Amino acid sequence: MSRASQRIVAALIGLLFMVTGVLKLRDPAAFAIDIQNYRLLPWTWDVIVALYLPWLEIVCSGALLLRIGYRGALAICALLLAGFIGAYGSTRPRGLDIACGCFGHGIHRGYWPVVLGDTLLLAVVIWLLRADFRPLSPVIQSNGDVKETP
């Protein structure tokens, strides 16, 4: 896939994280309860995550959209997605039927749509990260100059 296509996909992911971050920021108290429902952390850490995570998503989205700190943002997005898939994936085996809290309080998309959808998103993010690390291939132009292209 071309660099242009990669940029479009990265921008879309950036927009997605912006939306999810802003939606969570509307009501941090409700988001803290959503995190509490996972029954993984003590309440104090639920609050810390509820305050910090939306801003991490927003800063990452800004980095992806502006292409400043691009690789770092992709790496964080991948880690966030992997952590979330693990956390939410563990809820059903533990007998919990909860909303993920991804798009704001109380929105229940269903277990498998969340797990599968975010796994797909993680695959896309990892693909973008690998593509960005791929070295540019040199091309010798007709005038003898060397031009680097992806």
Q: Is 98 near another protein (CB under 8 A)?
A: yes
DSSP 144: S
Q: Is 99 near another protein (CB under 8 A)?
A: yes
Q: Is 19 near another protein (CB under 8 A)?
A: no
Q: Is 32 near another protein (CB under 8 A)?
A: yes
Q: Is 100 near another protein (CB under 8 A)?
A: no
Rounded distance, CA 59 to CA 37, Å?
26
Structure tokens at 143: 């005038």
Q: Which of residues 53-72 bind another protein (CB under 8 A)?
A: 54-56, 58-60, 63, 69-72
The helix (H) or strand (E) run that includes residue 6 is: helix 3-25
List C-alpha distances in Å: 80 to 140, 145, 146: 41, 43, 39
Size of the site for another protein (CB under 8 A): 39
Q: Are 63 and 69 in contact (CB under 8 A)?
A: yes
Q: Which of 36, 65, 81, 88 binds another protein (CB under 8 A)?
A: 36
DSSP bridge pairs for 149: 137
In the bound state with another protein, the residue whose beta carbon lies nearer, of 53 and 141, is 53
**Which candidate, 103, 85, 86, 105, places its Cα nearest to that of 37?**
105
Residues near another protein (CB under 8 A) are 25-33, 36-37, 39, 43-44, 46-47, 50-52, 54-56, 58-60, 63, 69-73, 75-76, 91, 96-99, 106
